[in-house]
Copies of this chain bind each other. A is one copy, B any other.
Amino acid sequence: MKLYDSRQAPNPRRTRIFLAEKGITLPTEQVDIMAMQHKTPEYTAINPLQRIPALVLDDGTIITESIAICRYFEVLQPEPPLFGVGAKEIALVEMWNRRAEINFFSNVAAVFRHLHPAMKELEVPQVPAYAEAMRPRAIWFLELLDKELAKREFIVGDRYSVADITTLVAVDFMKPAKLAMPEGAGNVKRWHAAVSARPSARA
Protein backbone atom coordinates (compact mmCIF):
# COMPACT_ATOMS: atom_id res chain seq x y z
CA MET A 1 0.00 0.00 0.00
CA LYS A 2 1.28 3.48 -0.82
CA LEU A 3 -0.08 6.98 -0.31
CA TYR A 4 0.76 9.76 -2.77
CA ASP A 5 0.74 12.89 -0.64
CA SER A 6 1.56 16.59 -0.94
CA ARG A 7 2.49 18.96 1.88
CA GLN A 8 1.70 21.92 -0.44
CA ALA A 9 -2.06 21.40 -0.72
CA PRO A 10 -4.96 21.38 1.75
CA ASN A 11 -6.80 18.21 0.64
CA PRO A 12 -3.98 15.74 1.31
CA ARG A 13 -3.72 17.28 4.79
CA ARG A 14 -7.28 16.10 5.46
CA THR A 15 -6.18 12.52 4.85
CA ARG A 16 -3.01 12.92 6.94
CA ILE A 17 -4.95 14.30 9.93
CA PHE A 18 -7.51 11.50 9.59
CA LEU A 19 -4.81 8.82 9.56
CA ALA A 20 -3.08 10.44 12.55
CA GLU A 21 -6.36 10.37 14.53
CA LYS A 22 -6.65 6.66 13.70
CA GLY A 23 -2.98 6.01 14.54
CA ILE A 24 -2.34 4.61 11.05
CA THR A 25 1.00 5.12 9.30
CA LEU A 26 1.57 4.35 5.61
CA PRO A 27 4.45 4.34 3.14
CA THR A 28 4.18 7.76 1.49
CA GLU A 29 5.57 9.50 -1.57
CA GLN A 30 5.54 13.30 -1.88
CA VAL A 31 4.27 14.82 -5.16
CA ASP A 32 5.69 18.31 -5.80
CA ILE A 33 2.83 20.45 -7.13
CA MET A 34 4.96 23.56 -7.72
CA ALA A 35 7.28 21.41 -9.89
CA MET A 36 4.14 20.19 -11.73
CA GLN A 37 4.83 16.56 -10.76
CA HIS A 38 1.06 15.91 -10.59
CA LYS A 39 0.87 16.69 -14.33
CA THR A 40 3.51 14.15 -15.39
CA PRO A 41 2.48 11.07 -17.42
CA GLU A 42 3.55 8.90 -14.45
CA TYR A 43 1.20 10.57 -11.98
CA THR A 44 -1.58 10.98 -14.57
CA ALA A 45 -1.52 7.18 -14.95
CA ILE A 46 -2.26 6.96 -11.21
CA ASN A 47 -4.89 9.70 -11.18
CA PRO A 48 -6.12 11.00 -14.55
CA LEU A 49 -7.64 13.94 -12.66
CA GLN A 50 -4.09 14.94 -11.60
CA ARG A 51 -5.11 15.51 -8.00
CA ILE A 52 -3.52 14.46 -4.74
CA PRO A 53 -3.84 12.34 -2.59
CA ALA A 54 -4.04 8.87 -4.17
CA LEU A 55 -3.86 5.54 -2.38
CA VAL A 56 -2.55 2.47 -4.24
CA LEU A 57 -3.69 -0.81 -2.68
CA ASP A 58 -1.65 -4.00 -2.80
CA ASP A 59 -3.99 -5.45 -5.46
CA GLY A 60 -3.35 -2.41 -7.68
CA THR A 61 -6.69 -0.67 -7.01
CA ILE A 62 -6.27 3.09 -6.86
CA ILE A 63 -8.42 5.22 -4.58
CA THR A 64 -8.35 8.98 -5.04
CA GLU A 65 -10.23 11.80 -3.30
CA SER A 66 -9.10 12.53 0.25
CA ILE A 67 -12.47 11.65 1.83
CA ALA A 68 -12.72 8.37 -0.13
CA ILE A 69 -9.34 7.33 1.26
CA CYS A 70 -10.54 8.28 4.76
CA ARG A 71 -13.68 6.17 4.32
CA TYR A 72 -11.57 3.17 3.26
CA PHE A 73 -9.73 3.27 6.58
CA GLU A 74 -12.91 4.00 8.58
CA VAL A 75 -14.25 0.61 7.41
CA LEU A 76 -10.97 -1.24 8.01
CA GLN A 77 -10.43 0.33 11.43
CA PRO A 78 -13.65 1.76 12.87
CA GLU A 79 -12.07 3.09 16.09
CA PRO A 80 -12.09 5.95 16.87
CA PRO A 81 -15.15 6.63 14.69
CA LEU A 82 -14.64 9.78 12.57
CA PHE A 83 -17.72 9.51 10.29
CA GLY A 84 -20.22 9.08 13.14
CA VAL A 85 -22.03 6.09 14.66
CA GLY A 86 -25.68 5.30 13.93
CA ALA A 87 -27.93 6.69 11.19
CA LYS A 88 -28.48 10.14 12.68
CA GLU A 89 -24.88 10.94 13.63
CA ILE A 90 -23.57 9.51 10.35
CA ALA A 91 -25.99 11.78 8.46
CA LEU A 92 -25.07 14.85 10.54
CA VAL A 93 -21.33 14.28 9.99
CA GLU A 94 -21.94 13.94 6.25
CA MET A 95 -24.11 17.09 6.34
CA TRP A 96 -21.55 19.25 8.14
CA ASN A 97 -18.62 17.88 6.19
CA ARG A 98 -20.45 18.82 2.98
CA ARG A 99 -21.64 22.18 4.29
CA ALA A 100 -18.03 22.99 5.21
CA GLU A 101 -16.76 21.81 1.82
CA ILE A 102 -19.39 23.42 -0.40
CA ASN A 103 -20.01 26.68 1.42
CA PHE A 104 -16.62 27.34 2.98
CA PHE A 105 -13.61 25.25 1.82
CA SER A 106 -14.47 25.58 -1.89
CA ASN A 107 -14.95 29.33 -1.51
CA VAL A 108 -11.63 29.78 0.31
CA ALA A 109 -10.04 27.68 -2.45
CA ALA A 110 -11.71 29.85 -5.11
CA VAL A 111 -10.20 32.99 -3.56
CA PHE A 112 -6.76 31.36 -3.49
CA ARG A 113 -6.92 29.75 -6.94
CA HIS A 114 -8.37 32.72 -8.80
CA LEU A 115 -6.40 35.55 -7.14
CA HIS A 116 -3.03 34.24 -5.93
CA PRO A 117 -0.08 34.94 -8.28
CA ALA A 118 1.38 31.50 -7.45
CA MET A 119 -1.66 29.87 -9.09
CA LYS A 120 -1.28 31.66 -12.44
CA GLU A 121 0.03 28.56 -14.22
CA LEU A 122 -2.09 26.04 -12.28
CA GLU A 123 -5.53 27.70 -12.52
CA VAL A 124 -5.98 28.67 -16.17
CA PRO A 125 -7.70 31.03 -16.68
CA GLN A 126 -7.81 32.77 -13.34
CA VAL A 127 -11.15 34.61 -12.96
CA PRO A 128 -10.60 37.25 -10.25
CA ALA A 129 -14.27 38.35 -10.36
CA TYR A 130 -15.27 34.84 -9.27
CA ALA A 131 -12.86 34.96 -6.32
CA GLU A 132 -14.32 38.31 -5.26
CA ALA A 133 -17.87 36.91 -5.47
CA MET A 134 -16.98 33.90 -3.30
CA ARG A 135 -14.99 35.84 -0.66
CA PRO A 136 -18.03 37.12 1.31
CA ARG A 137 -19.63 33.66 1.18
CA ALA A 138 -16.63 32.11 2.94
CA ILE A 139 -16.85 34.72 5.70
CA TRP A 140 -20.63 34.33 5.96
CA PHE A 141 -20.22 30.61 6.63
CA LEU A 142 -17.87 31.31 9.54
CA GLU A 143 -20.49 33.62 11.03
CA LEU A 144 -23.08 30.84 10.73
CA LEU A 145 -20.64 28.34 12.24
CA ASP A 146 -19.92 30.66 15.16
CA LYS A 147 -23.59 30.53 16.18
CA GLU A 148 -23.56 26.73 15.90
CA LEU A 149 -20.37 26.33 17.94
CA ALA A 150 -21.97 28.31 20.78
CA LYS A 151 -24.09 25.17 21.33
CA ARG A 152 -21.49 22.39 21.21
CA GLU A 153 -17.83 21.43 21.48
CA PHE A 154 -17.21 20.11 17.97
CA ILE A 155 -18.79 20.64 14.54
CA VAL A 156 -21.12 17.68 15.21
CA GLY A 157 -21.99 17.30 18.90
CA ASP A 158 -19.37 16.24 21.44
CA ARG A 159 -17.36 13.95 19.22
CA TYR A 160 -14.45 15.02 16.96
CA SER A 161 -15.18 13.96 13.36
CA VAL A 162 -14.09 14.35 9.76
CA ALA A 163 -16.27 17.50 9.67
CA ASP A 164 -13.81 19.07 12.16
CA ILE A 165 -10.91 17.98 9.96
CA THR A 166 -12.39 19.58 6.82
CA THR A 167 -13.25 22.80 8.64
CA LEU A 168 -9.83 23.03 10.33
CA VAL A 169 -8.01 22.57 7.02
CA ALA A 170 -10.23 25.18 5.37
CA VAL A 171 -9.71 27.72 8.18
CA ASP A 172 -5.93 27.25 7.94
CA PHE A 173 -6.17 27.64 4.13
CA MET A 174 -7.53 31.18 4.70
CA LYS A 175 -3.96 32.36 5.39
CA PRO A 176 -2.50 31.66 1.90
CA ALA A 177 -5.84 32.87 0.47
CA LYS A 178 -5.31 36.14 2.40
CA LEU A 179 -8.71 35.91 4.08
CA ALA A 180 -9.09 37.24 7.64
CA MET A 181 -11.16 35.63 10.40
CA PRO A 182 -14.24 37.86 10.96
CA GLU A 183 -14.42 40.08 14.05
CA GLY A 184 -15.91 38.32 17.05
CA ALA A 185 -16.29 34.65 16.04
CA GLY A 186 -15.21 33.71 19.55
CA ASN A 187 -16.72 30.25 19.33
CA VAL A 188 -14.93 29.47 16.07
CA LYS A 189 -11.67 30.69 17.62
CA ARG A 190 -12.17 28.52 20.74
CA TRP A 191 -12.94 25.49 18.56
CA HIS A 192 -9.99 26.23 16.22
CA ALA A 193 -7.55 26.45 19.15
CA ALA A 194 -8.81 23.12 20.51
CA VAL A 195 -8.62 21.15 17.25
CA SER A 196 -5.26 22.76 16.40
CA ALA A 197 -3.84 21.59 19.74
CA ARG A 198 -4.49 17.93 18.89
CA PRO A 199 -1.28 16.15 17.78
CA SER A 200 -3.05 15.17 14.50
CA ALA A 201 -3.14 18.84 13.39
CA ARG A 202 0.63 18.70 12.80
CA ALA A 203 0.33 15.64 10.54
Contacts and interface: CB of A to CB of B under 8 A. Distances in A.
A26 interface: no
A118 interface: no
Contact of A71 (B63, B69, B94, B130): B94
Contacts of A86: 75
Interface string A57-77: 100010111011101110110
Contact of A91 (B71, B87, B125): B71
Nearest to A94: B68
Chain B CB count within 10 A is highest, among A69, A72, A98, for A72
Interface in A74-104: 75-76, 86-88, 90-92, 94-95, 98-99, 102-103
Given A130-B129, A133-B125, A133-B127, A91 B103 contact: no
Contact of A98 (B68, B72, B73, B94): B68
A48 interface: yes
Interface of A: 48-49, 57, 61, 63-65, 67-69, 71-73, 75-76, 86-88, 90-92, 94-95, 98-99, 102-103, 125, 127, 129-130, 133, 144
